[in-house]
Amino acid sequence: MAYTQPDIAALIPLPPATFHILMAVAQEDRHGYAIIQDVERRTDGELRLSAGTLYRSIQRMLEQGLIDETDDRPAPEFDDERRRYYRISAFGTAVARAETRRMSRLVRMARTQGLLPERA
């Protein structure tokens, strides 16, 4: 999918849930429940996406082209036919990178102002 810099800029900053979902599907294809679990694990249980929030985010992210639905499915013994799998799109990767850059800049600025005393 062709995209431009303004397309990316239009979506930045990302809502936290969207950014977390992008991270969850960045490395491997995941279905909805797996995304919820992944986000929860990575945030040590701090962010627990509700089912409604998740699927509404997924719907919007599909429309925005941040993620794609994939037809690659795991072996039947691990699969549930009701599940649908998602992966990050090239555009989604670009947006996630842009968002990461924005946040690191923010962190750097905060550090120069003495708001972050030592390196994490």
Partner 1 sequence: MRFDRALLHLYPISFRREYGAELTALFELRTRQAGRGLPMLALVIGTVFDVTANAAAAHWDVLRHDLRYTFRTLARSPGFALTAILVTALGIGANTAAFSVADFVLIRPLPFEDPERLVKLWERPPGGGRFELSPPNFNDYKAQLHSFAAIGAFHGISVNLVGQGEPQRLSGTALTGEVLPMLGVKPAVGRAFSDADDRSGYDGGVILSYGLWQRNFGGDAAVLGAKIVLDGEPREVIGVMPKDFHFPNAESALWTLMPQVERENTERDNNWFQGIARLKPGVSRAAANAEMNVIAASLAERFPTENKGIGAAVIALRDELSTQSELMLLALCGAAMCVLLIACANLANLLIARSLVRRRELDVRLALGAGRERLVRQLMTESLVIAAIGGSLGIVIAVVTVPLLSRLVPNSLPLADTPTVDVRVLFVAALVSALTGIAFGVFPALRASGSGDLSGLREGSRSGGGRRARLRSALVVVEVMASVVLLVSSGLLLRALSRVEGTDPGFRADGVVTMRTALPRPQYDSNAVRDRFYRRVLDGVRALPGAQSAAYVSFLPMTFGGGIFPIEAGGIPSNGADGRNASLRYATPAYFSALGIPLRAGRDLEETDELNRPMVAVVSESFAKKYFPGQNAVGQRFKFSPMPGDVNIVGVVGDIKVRGLERASEPQMYLSYKQQPGSWFPFYMPKDLVIRASVPMAQLVPAVRRIIHDADPTLPISSVRSMTELVSDQTASRAVQVRVIGAFAIVAFFLAAVGIHGLLAFSVSQRKHEIGVRMALGAQQGQIVGMVVRQGAVLALCGVIPGIALAYAAGRGMQSLLFGVEPGDAATFVAAAALCVLMTLAGSLMPVLRAVRVAPATVFRSE
Residue 52 contacts partner 1 per CB under 8 A: yes
Alpha-carbon distance of 8 to 12, in angstroms, equals 7
Q: Which of residues 95-114 bind partner 1 (CB under 8 A)?
A: none
Query: Which of the ranges 17-25, 81-89, 101-109, 110-118 carries the binding residues for partner 1, by CB under 8 A?
Result: 81-89
Q: Which of residues 32-51 bind partner 1 (CB under 8 A)?
A: 32-33, 36, 50-51
Residue of the chain from 16, 42, 80, 116 that contacts partner 1 (CB under 8 A): 80
Residue 93 contacts partner 1 per CB under 8 A: no
Bridge-based pairing state of the strands 30-31 and 67-70:
unpaired
Residue 55 contacts partner 1 per CB under 8 A: yes
Count, in order, helices (H) and strands (E) of the chain.
5, 3
Residue 35 CB: number of other CB atoms within 10 A? 22
| Cα 99 to Cα 102, 118, 119, distances in angstroms | 5, 23, 21
- Binding residues for partner 1, rule: CB under 8 A, are 31-33, 36, 50-53, 55-56, 58-60, 80, 82-84
